[in-house]
Amino acid sequence: MNTLGATDILAIYGAVLASITFGWNLYRDLQDRARLKATAHVRRIVQSEDGTWYAVKPDLQVAGASEQLFVVVNVTNIGRRPLRWEGWGGKYRTPVNGKKSFVIIPRYLPKMLNEGESHSEYTEELNPRWQNLKKLTVWDASGKNWYVPRRELKALRRQLREPS
């Protein structure tokens, strides 16, 4: 029977360690990118005493809150690289006025988002076309589209039917 010597054991150890290091570096490099998380809700808009705007739930009683309801999209950079949020829009289930999609004119875009930062944008006053919503999309400067998840869209449609 052939036994392993010290050189053989060191060679096996080196090969295993090199494989683990290669796998870790590959994983780290693939994760090192920008990623967005987009959410959408029905909200009322309020301006605080210092002039900043923020969104509150429709059933929350806040002094100075608007009576109108708005769709508010919040985007958070959950990746490790900064990215620039350029715009947002969506697609209809059935065409409205012959159009299958729409673009929302932003108030404060484009906006650079660093790691962990978020930014919110809101629409004009709600109207019946929001019930016809199929997809809600935000896009960055590189042209990549990021979608509001289907579960969030279902919750948004439910909020639009019963705004509280």
pLDDT at residue number 42: 87
Say yes or no to pLDDT of 1 above 70.
no
pLDDT at residue number 58: 84
pLDDT at residue number 151: 92
**Proportion of the chain above pLDDT 70, given as a percent:** 97
pLDDT at residue number 144: 92
Say yes or no to pLDDT of 159 above 90.
no
Looking at the DSSP assignment, which residues form a beta bridge with residue 138?
Answer: 88, 146
Confidence of residue 32 (pLDDT cuts 50, 70, 90): confident
Residue 148's nearest CA partner among 156, 54, 140 is 156
pLDDT at residue number 24: 94
What contacts 139, CB < 8 A, 6 or more positions away?
A: 85, 86, 87, 88, 145, 146
